Amino acid sequence: MHRNRKHAALWMLPLALLSACGGAPESDATSEDTALEESHRSLIAAPPAPPSGNIADSTMLQGVLPVDGAVAGYPGPLPGYYGYTLQTTAGAQLQLEVTHLGSSMYLDTGLFLYGPKDANGSYGTQLHAQDDDSGYGTLSKVKLVTVPKAGEYLVVVGFVNGAEKQFRLQSSCIGGTCLSNPQPAPTGYALTLQEQPVTAELQSTLDTGNAQYEMMTSYLRRLDYAWPFSGEASLQQATAAVLAQGRYIGYRNDPTTLELTLPEMNSAMYWQFQPLLPLILSTYGDGMETVRVKRYSRTFSTGPNGDNWRSLYIMLFPRSYKVVVYEQTAHEI
């Protein structure tokens, strides 16, 4: 019942926490505190995007969070956001957690990752990872995030009901970037995928394509995987991990699967979605890796004049430790 209330209330977040969408008046401290208090009954929302475009201006900076280290936070009686800087390398694979050990009972937190800091000192407003309640109880845990570039990132802890409470924030490096002598992956090693939000630019481009025709719709997902081994994951491992998810069960028996080059994938995409491909590559690739693609297809009918055509493209970024899933569908109307 508590979880249902949380999801239902998400769509009722006050305007103060949705000001990043544009057009909303700047909120005062009282309305922002009220929004966070209400989020305790739903999800703890990301900090509101400030007019400066630097998310740090919506947080209270607390200091440095070292990789493979931890810091203690002491929130006050009012809801708020604490920010911690974290320096890391390109492709680093991190786990971020507000840990049970060292955190007060009944504290509710949210966890967010931004960056890297640019030449102007801004961390921007684009989320690389976020979590609400994946940790112990109502504490937060980002199980895996692969950072795209070297630099300084901002880890943000949002909290409510923090009076006379404390939390412990920990970062752990879990991928091969932390190992001096990684060993080859064991035979039959299966990838575990962790979903993270796509960028706002990619989502906007996808939405623009979806608005063109009612009978054509596409979907895009970004999935990170840990790789604490030498060498690279295989396309077979990537496709097996994706097809293991129940939502893709209809593609598992496709006898006509194809491995495509990027130009071939571009040609196979509906024209209104073709702007997505170069944006996907520039957003998630390192510019030097060989991105591999496998396509699965299925056709089925839901009745007279009800044919459906679906294609699933699984893209492996072997050095950026990402799998991007693009699915496009069409149906008769």
Which of 123, 149, 178 is a domain's end point? Answer: 178
Residue 2 has pLDDT above 90, yes or no: no
Q: Copy the structure tokens of residue 308.
A: 């459906």
Q: Given pLDDT bands bounded at 50, 70 and 90, which one contains residue 305?
A: low
pLDDT tens figures, 91-108: 888 999 999 999 998 889
Q: 110, 143, 178: which is the final residue of a domain?
A: 178
Is 117 inside a domain boundary?
yes
Q: What is the reported pTM?
A: 0.74
Burial 193-219 (b: 16+ CB within 10 A, else e): bbebebbeebeebbeebeeeeeebbbe
Question: By three-state DSSP, how is residue 177 classified?
Answer: helix
pLDDT digits (tens, 9 = 90+) for 223-248: 999 998 988 999 999 999 999 999 99
Structure tokens at 267: 């040609």
Min mean pLDDT across 5-9, 114-118, 211-215 is at 5-9
| 198 and 174 within one domain | no
Assess whether pLDDT exceeds 80 at residue 142.
Answer: yes
Q: Is residue 11 part of a domain?
A: no
The CA distances from residue 283 to 42, 192, 271, 294, 324, in Å, are 31, 21, 20, 20, 11
For the packed helices 276-284 and 200-210, what is the interaxial angle rounded to 10 degrees? 170
Residue 42 banded pLDDT, cuts 50, 70, 90: low
Q: Does residue 8 form part of some domain?
A: no
Q: Are 56 and 155 in a shared domain?
A: yes
Instruction: Tell me the CATH number at 78.
Output: 2.60.120.380
Query: Is 19 contained in some domain?
Result: no
Q: What is the pLDDT of residues 254-277, one digit of tens each?
A: 999 999 999 999 999 999 999 999
Please list, in sequence order, all residues whose beta carbon lies within 8 angstroms of the beta carbon of residue 171, skipping any fewer than 6 positions away.
65, 66, 67, 68, 69, 70, 86, 94, 95, 96, 155
Pair 262, 221 in one domain? yes
Q: Which of the two residues, 126 and 39, has the higher pLDDT score? A: 126
Q: Which domain holds residue 102?
A: 46-178
**What Å distances lie between residue 50 and 33, 58, 82, 170, CA to CA?**
15, 6, 15, 26
